Structure 1
Amino acid sequence: MEHKVSQNEDLKSFLKSTFYFNRLSEDDLSKLSEIAMVKKFSKKEHIFAEGDRATGFYLVKDGWIKIYKLSPEGKEMVVHIFGSGEIFGEIVLAGVGEYPAWAQALTETEVIFFEKNLFKSLIGRSPDLCLTLLSAFAFKIKDLLHSLENITLKDAKERLLKFLYHAAKASPERLIKLEIPKSQLALLLGITPETFSRLLKKLEEDGFIKVDGKQIWVNDRVLT
């Protein structure tokens, strides 16, 4: 019993730390944690496939998730990569019956699953939770539109610099730890892995960054 209580408190604490749920009351957090289900996935394991029945949505607790589409020829297009504290699959709340893309774990991953009917029932009884989520999802749509603008209107170097800028700002040491393959990050930025590697090398030669394996130190020049 004590172990279960401890797990619930840990789950509540994590939910409280995320952008989506950090403004909820303790009562709403408790109710939310009661319907949450923690699931673990191995590296390269699929969470769902395009066309699978949409049963709920997910919150990444630890690890990285790739959302992608496949062309009729089998070519992969990365839609987005989600890390800890980010939600994916929430389109089910709009009444969509099938997942519109593939979701795959890029690393050992732990996610929190919310069954859609239980979640809808909960927000129907909690106006504060409903309004909080509407606000958070609106910001997410704005962020995704911004990402689309980057891909369509900016060249490859600008997109890479913008990624480095935002990633480095989140680290006091200006250190970016690439926990996902560089090839996947390249696809997310809309460039080929070869171009990605070439641009990294050029930025390092110009003194903007220093690359050491999966770690990138970013010079303050990138942040100005």
Structure 2
Amino acid sequence: MKRCIVCLAELDLFRGLESEQCIKLCNCTVKKKLSKGESLFHQDEFSNAVYLIKSGKLKLVQITEDGHEAILDVCGPGEILGELSLYQEQKEVSSAIAMEEAKICCFSRQQFRTLIQENSSFALRIISYLGKKRYDSLQKYGEDTRQTVKEKLLYLFYHFAKEYGESKGEELLIDIIITQQELADMIGASRVMVGQAIKELITSNIIGREKRYYTLKKDPCLCRHTFE
């Protein structure tokens, strides 16, 4: 599949900065390249860094008190991790693990603070970004508490398609390789229940498979979420 590499100047968060500011910021960052399965940071580590995903995808994995592994989210190009360290040094609530080869830019908390001092509009964009992320998280939680396993799974597929979908005729190919166990960990269900739900969705011609990827029908009647 085609992989994109994000440039800082292309992101809404950094749009409007002077070219010199973008160059200065980019030159000061630490670049990391992760292999599949490699961790960017670990749960309970103290962090004072902010990470920008330039290419690839990472899953945020949390180990609960009873030892259960839960996948909180999947993040891709253009997304920011560790943003809470902008306020204070604190422990990470999850581990970030590469699902494929990924390239990351690492910023220090001080770099972001300096940028905010130099450009007040950047502070507003940071607040807006964090607010939207919080809203999306609360909305997802609200949906999860009212849905069946099949509904949760379909909602997740539509979320992935919105973020990583590639148009293929009447379908959207979800450009992410994810296992049934990982899907189960994301929606809080067993792998068996997820497997059965996937079979039902395929039988109903709502989703499909193309090699190692899932596809989703564009028909807006199948779900309340629609795509432009």
Q: Give the TM bin, normalised by the shorter chain.
A: 0.7 to 0.9
Output one character per residue of 1:27-70: Cα deviation in whole Å (capped at 9) or x when no partner.
44233323322101122122212222212011111112121221
Report the count of equivalent residues.
213
Whether the aligned pair in 1 keeps the contact of 2:153 and 2:183 (CA below 8 Å) is no
Instruction: Give me the whole-angstrom Cα distance separating, in 2, the residues matched to 1:175 and 1:110.
Output: 23
2:180 is equivalent to residue 211 of structure 1: no
Whether the aligned pair in 1 keeps the contact of 2:46 and 2:89 (CA below 8 Å) is no
Once the two structures are aligned, what percentage of the paired residues are identical?
Answer: 26
Structure 1 residue 86 displacement after superposition: 0.9
**Match runs of 1:141-220 below 5 Å:** 141-169=134-162, 170-173=165-168, 174-220=172-218
Output one character per residue of 1:105-162: Cα deviation in whole Å (capped at 9) or x when no partner.
2222211111112221221222121111111221111111112122222222112222
Gapped regions of structure 2 (runs ≥ 5): none
Scaled by the length of structure 1, the TM-score of the pair is 0.84
Instruction: Give me the whole-angstrom Cα distance separating, in 1, the residues matched to 2:17 and 2:180.
Output: 36
Instruction: Give the SS at the match of 1:95.
Output: coil
Instruction: Give me the whole-angstrom Cα distance separating, in 2, the residues matched to 1:165 and 1:118.
Output: 35
Instruction: Give me the whole-angstrom Cα distance separating, in 2, the residues matched to 1:31 and 1:128.
Output: 18
Structure 1 residue 23 displacement after superposition: 4.6
Superposition misfits of 4+ residues, deviation over 4 angstroms: none
Q: Which moved more, 1:198-207 or 1:177-186?
A: 177-186
Cα RMSD, aligned residues only? 2.2
**One-letter identity of the residue aligned with 1:203:** L
Whether the aligned pair in 1 keeps the contact of 2:43 and 2:92 (CA below 8 Å) is yes
Q: Which of the residues 93, 97, 107 maps onto 1:100?
A: 93
2:111 is equivalent to residue 132 of structure 1: no
Scaled by the length of structure 2, the TM-score of the pair is 0.82
Gapped regions of structure 1 (runs ≥ 5): 1-10
